[in-house]
């Protein structure tokens, strides 16, 4: 554990609630491994005080902040600069200190792209099914388009909500879950972006129909608790490869840390962190 002194830099996470967050343990772990004089702390912030919180953080010399639910969209108004990807996705999860304020980034998308690379899921020219249309799905769809997916089928409980977010996007088709049979026969990459199956509801799965899983040859469930979700089990039972979202979690944290500290985190350190969290 590093010792705090007069030179300690402060990082943190703002959200409401923040009690459940795993980010302090991941970032403090990274700081220890890299020998940085840093502490990372949770800050519960109500929406109506978000602007004051960001200004106050800057005044206090806070080096960087992660931003979680429900502030990822609202916080975009209070940044001094906005990264292009964060602007396109429409959400910020990282504030890195610059002169006069913070620059907003989205590292969910870069974390997800790094996970795909690491587990050797190649999206270029492939058809992809995305389950869900919330904040996480936005970063995923942005990544898939950047990686040149051929066509993306987005399935959501509320088709209208998905339409309001992704309607009109090129090479994207939107259905409700029950209409999954409208997807042309073939083999797909599938990304599970809903909260269904999250611990303690380990047995829940967003599409129960076993036939659906014949469509999937590789999949990522963004959930990492439990380590193996009911969705992943079904994919595997039908011969597909399935991964959880732990690597995405680690890599989004690593990317945030890199923006905060303005230095690169060696790949071995990221891998070591992943292995420790996965053990």
HSE-up of residue 59 (Cα within 13 Å, Cβ side): 6
**Nearest CB to ligand ATR, comparing residues 161 and 262:** 161
**Nearest CB to ligand ATR, comparing residues 141 and 277:** 141
Cis check: omega of the bond before 70, within 30 degrees of 0 = yes
203 burial (CB, 10 Å; 0-12 / 13-18 / 19+) is exposed
Give the CB-nearest residue to ligand ATR.
134
Closest CB 20 distance from ligand ATR, rounded Å: 13
Closest CB 243 distance from ligand ATR, rounded Å: 17
Helix orientation angle between 23-34 and 246-261, rounded to the nearest 10 degrees? 60
Q: What are phi and psi of 65, to 5 degrees?
A: -140, 140
Closest CB 106 distance from ligand ATR, rounded Å: 12
Which one, of 56, 67, 125, 123, lies nearest residue 92 by Cα? Answer: 67
Closest CB 248 distance from ligand ATR, rounded Å: 12
Which one, of 227, 141, 228, lies nearest residue 189 by Cα? Answer: 141
Which positions lie near ligand ATR, rule CB under 6 A? 132-137, 156-158, 161, 193-196, 206
Catalytic residue among 3, 33, 46, 72: 72
**Nearest CB to ligand ATR, comparing residues 4 and 164:** 164
Cis check: omega of the bond before 17, within 30 degrees of 0 = yes
| Distance (Å) of CA 111 to CA 7, 158, 248, 250 | 30, 26, 5, 7
**Nearest CB to ligand ATR, comparing residues 178 and 263:** 178
**Nearest CB to ligand ATR, comparing residues 15 and 132:** 132
Residues 62 and 99: their CA atoms lie apart, in Å, by 12
143 burial (CB, 10 Å; 0-12 / 13-18 / 19+) is buried
9 included as an active-site residue: no
Closest CB 263 distance from ligand ATR, rounded Å: 29
Closest CB 63 distance from ligand ATR, rounded Å: 25
Q: Please enumerate in sequence order all residues whose Cβ is within 8 A of that of 84, keeping only pairs 6 or more positions apart, or say none.
A: none
124 burial (CB, 10 Å; 0-12 / 13-18 / 19+) is exposed
**Nearest CB to ligand ATR, comparing residues 77 and 158:** 158
Give the active site residues: 72
């Amino acid at each position: 554990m590093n010792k705090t002194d007069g030179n300690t830099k402060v990082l943190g996470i703002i959200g409401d609630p923040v009690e459940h967050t795993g980010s302090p343990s991941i970032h403090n772990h990274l700081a220890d491994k890299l020998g940085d004089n840093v502490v990372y702390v949770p800050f519960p912030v109500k929406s109506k005080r978000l602007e004051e919180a960001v200004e106050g953080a800057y005044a206090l010399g806070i080096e960087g902040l992660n931003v979680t639910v429900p502030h990822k969209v609202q916080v975009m108004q209070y940044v001094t600069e906005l990264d292009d990807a964060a602007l396109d996705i429409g959400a910020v999860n990282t504030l890195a200190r610059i002169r006069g304020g913070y620059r907003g980034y989205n590292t969910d998308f870069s974390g997800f792209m790094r996970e795909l690379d690491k587990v050797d899921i190649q999206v270029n020219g492939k058809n992809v099914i995305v389950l869900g249309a919330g904040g996480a799905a936005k970063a995923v769809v942005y990544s898939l388009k950047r990686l040149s997916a051929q066509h993306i089928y987005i399935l959501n409980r509320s088709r209208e909500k998905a339409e309001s977010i992704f309607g009109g996007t090129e090479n994207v088709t939107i259905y409700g879950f029950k209409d999954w049979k409208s997807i042309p026969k073939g083999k797909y990459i599938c990304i599970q972006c809903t909260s269904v199956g999250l611990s303690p509801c380990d047995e829940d799965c967003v599409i129960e129909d076993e036939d659906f899983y014949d469509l999937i040859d590789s999949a990522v469930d963004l959930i990492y608790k439990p380590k193996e979700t009911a969705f992943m089990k079904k994919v595997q039972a039908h011969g597909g490869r399935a991964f959880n979202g732990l690597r995405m979690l680690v890599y989004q944290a690593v990317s945030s840390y890199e923006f905060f500290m303005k230095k690169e985190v060696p790949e071995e350190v990221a891998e070591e962190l992943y292995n420790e969290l996965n053990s």
